[in-house]
Amino acid sequence: MTATELQGSGGWVNAELTDEEIEKSKLVPSMEKYFLASLEKLDNEKMLKHFCKTCNAEFDGPTKIQIEEKPNEQVADGLILIERGQYTCHKCNSIIGEYRVFSKSQ
Ligand SMILES: [Zn+2]
């Protein structure tokens, strides 16, 4: 596990990731930049700290998680979007980043 800073639209989350997750979080494989939205929902215990742009402050521990919807809709062949939501700030409720969880259909 490696502590990695994942960029979101309203800040970042520093989380413990496996090598596989680190690769998955990069938009461009050759670029050392990691994105929250490229990964599925992070476990609370994996989030070490986070930064909120609105508060302009760093906080220890996980963000809040706001579930937007559980659509269960087919987004591509064999791929179902089962949950969509945001990582939000405990203090001001701003959105720090977004996540989507997919499931493979049979
Ligand atoms: Zn905030």
pLDDT digits (tens, 9 = 90+) for 51-97: 999 999 999 999 999 999 999 999 999 999 999 999 999 999 999 99
User: What is the rounded distance in angstroms from the CA atom of residue 89 to the CA atom of residue 41?
Assistant: 16
Distance 61 CA to ligand 1 centre (A): 14
Distance 53 CA to ligand 1 centre (A): 7
| 72 Cα–ligand 1 center, Å | 30
Q: Amino acid letter at 40?
A: E
pTM for the model stands at: 0.90
Domain boundaries, given as residue ranges, for the chain: 2-104
